[in-house]
Amino acid sequence: MSQWLPIAELAGKVRTGELKAVDLVNQAYTTIEDNKDYNAIISLTRDRALQRATEIDQSEHKGRLAGVPFIAKDNFLAFGAETTAGSNILKGFNAPYQASVIEKLEAEGAICVAKANLDAFAHGSSTENSDFGVTKNPHNKSRVAGGSSGGSAAAVTLDFVPFALGSDTGGSIRLPASFCGCVGYKPTYGLVSRSGVVAMASSLDVIGPLARTIDDTAIVLDVISGRDELDSTTIERDDQPYTDLDISLEGQKIGVIKEYKEEGVDEGVKSQIETVIEKLKTAGAEVSEISLPSLPLALAVYYIICPAEVSSNLSRYDGIRYGHSDKDAKTVDEQYLKSRGEGFGAENKRRIMIGTHVLSSGYYDAYYKTAQTVRTKLINEFAEAFSTVDYLLGPVSPTPAFEINSHRDDPMLDYLVDIMTVAANLVGIPAISLPIGSVNDLPVGLQLMGRQKSDRQLLALAKQTEELIK
């Protein structure tokens, strides 16, 4: 049983004075302190958080999220602590402004209490690539929490806060949510502003919440979504509130993705998914099998396009403008080489090199252009699927959380973990990970996907599914 009330109820009690924001912030810090050994947190924003809590308690206009503590993945620019993106190259960097989503949440009274651990620059699926150490799974300390938003997912599951923010480039919200046993939501591309979030791959990056329930997820999305003049890729939000989740499962058309059944799915995971499918059928949903022929190519496409954009985005870390700078360099070239060589981790360097290679003269057409062509084919196949069904269903991961260090000697194993999540980012559709049970005491997540801009309807389906499996 969580120590936190539902977000709407919690904020309501702060607005009436029944609860104090300062007490909620202190409660969060006590829980964080009691669970330091999970390494979910990089830094605390204690002074600023307590100051904001005091101001909220004294204010007459408290907002929809009054006094609700939350944690931001450490690739979000936020005041009160350093922003490192989990990398030594940004150690000591204090943000000159805040991410748009942080500003929106604070405008409604939410309080950022800490910055969560992540794979450095969000490069990874396990949080083992963090320069601040691995985050351990709340259900088994010998297992990973998933990545790259592993710290955010662990923080929610460990009850540090009612919700956390993550970023999802190829599954980095949904995968850790599945491994840790909380809800993780990846909105439609552009629905939430990326302004003030350290870029990984700009055509794939999406910002979203991790929370304990669909209701909590929906209220956070309702606050942070919508167009932002600081991010030209943002789109208009739904006219109806994202908290309007009242739909019937009767007649809902759900497609079970055929190709995901063929990707070596653990028998326990398969059994949990099948149980949910049967419950959906009993509740009146029309469930059928759907094939997306190009889906097996999605991972290869992702690991060409993503490193290409990583290579471009990380070029700004040159040791001159900000971030780690080697003090002994004698020339500009030496400054670049030493600063980047010392500051970036092995996975960062690997992705920079892959990305630079696929964009280079002589290889651009063979790799990058071909990958973009297949990406378009995937977009068309998903659009065709959504002409016959309303939603798509499958696992988030073929297996529950794997053991820490089990992928250390083979980066490809880490890449393969993303096999069921990358497609949603490539085609820009909303997707959610919903906890549905466990295998060997490790959580299993169900992945639901909808057509672009169907975020409210997808959350409503997830809400009804959540009710079915209680």
Task: Identify whether the C-beta of residue 286 lies closer than 8 Å to the C-beta of residue 253.
Answer: yes
Active-site entry in 87, 100, 125, 148: 148
Radius of gyration of the chain from Cα atoms?
A: 21
Phi (first) and psi of residue 327, to 5 degrees: -85, -15
Nearest-angstrom CA–CA distance, 448 and 260: 13
- Polymer length in residues for the chain: 470
Decide if 315 is catalytic.
no
Give the C-alpha separation, 187 to 184, whole Å.
10
Residues 6+ apart with CB under 8 A from 300: 371
Tokens of 262: 């063929």
Distance in angstroms (rounded) separating the CA atoms of residues 381 and 425: 14
Q: 102: closest CA among 236, 216, 197?
A: 197
Sequence-ordered alpha helix ranges (H) in 206-248: 214-224
Of 126, 167, 172, 225, which is the active-site residue?
Answer: 172
Separation CA 457–CA 464 (nearest Å): 11
Please tell me which residue in 62, 73, 136, 186 is annotated as part of the active site. Answer: 73
DSSP letter string, 241-263: -TT------TT-EEEEEGGGGGS
* Known catalytic membership, residue 59: no
- For residues 264 and 260, what is the distance between their CA atoms, to the nearest angstrom? 8
Structural tokens at position 32: 């964080």
Asked if 232 is an active-site residue, the reply is no
Contact by Cβ (8 Å): 216, 7 = yes
The residues carrying an active-site annotation are 73, 148, 172
